[in-house]
Amino acid sequence: MALAVAPGGHGCVVSGLEQQPFKGGLRFASGRCSVTLREAGEFVRVAAENCTVQCGSEAYLEPLIVDRRGRCQLLRQEPK
């Protein structure tokens, strides 16, 4: 998984994830970094924990939801 965060383009690369047992969804981990996927009605909630080591100085992975068409939306409101 590779992401770039605007405006500076700082990126996060999370690789080598292995699936682990997780009640209520899917969990993938590499070391302390883990990414979880959970169904939330018509959406899938994606969240990363302890993955800052893989990110540039101004990048981070925020929780988001993905609809069945593949459109993503951050769970927090973006500044206008």
Using the structure block, give the residue that is written with the tokens 């405006």.
7
Give the residue from 75, 20, 30, 74 showing the smallest Cα distance to 54: 30
pTM above 0.85, yes or no: no
58 falls within a domain:
yes
The strand ranges marked E within 14-56 are 18-20, 26-30, 33-40, 43-49
Give the residue from 72, 49, 57 showing the smallest Cα distance to 11: 57
Q: What amino acid occupies position 32?
A: R
pLDDT in tens, 27-69: 999 888 888 999 888 899 988 888 877 776 666 677 888 888 8
Tell me the residue range of the domain where 49 lies: 2-74
79 falls within a domain:
no
19 falls within a domain:
yes
80 falls within a domain:
no
Which carries the bigger pLDDT value, residue 7 or residue 76? 76
Indicate the number of domains in the chain. 1
The DSSP letter of residue 55 is: B
